[in-house]
Structure 1
Amino acid sequence: MEINEREYYKIKRQRLNLTLKEVAEFAKCDVSYLSKYERGKYQPSITIVERYKEYIDNH
């Protein structure tokens, strides 16, 4: 089974025990935006996605 980048980062975040709240604070966005993004219901700005990935990659 192949996963996309969004799913990869969701799984990685969960394995690192990072909360959406702490990632959202770093990404400077609302928790609901990231929750919707992880579920494939919303596409935030490129800047938010880059910060989201940066925070997860650096933990």
Structure 2
Amino acid sequence: MRLNTIKPNPKRTRNKKRVGRGSGSGYGKTSGRGHKGMKSRSGGKVRIGFEGGQMPLQKRVPKYG
């Protein structure tokens, strides 16, 4: 077996999920994002370390050094 002879498994490849293309597709309307909240908005990314209003771990542990 050589690296240049390896081929991808044809059974393993999946079709792309096309979202927002009608309710009959199963991924229409909200496109699998739910209704409200940060991750449902466009450009809605939660910043690193954000825990939904709970005091983040970084601030809960005591300072040292």
TM category (shorter chain) comes to under 0.3
Larger Rg: 2
TM-score normalised by L of structure 2: 0.21
Using CA pairs under 8 Å that are at least 6 residues apart, name the structure with larger relative contact order, 1 or 2.
1
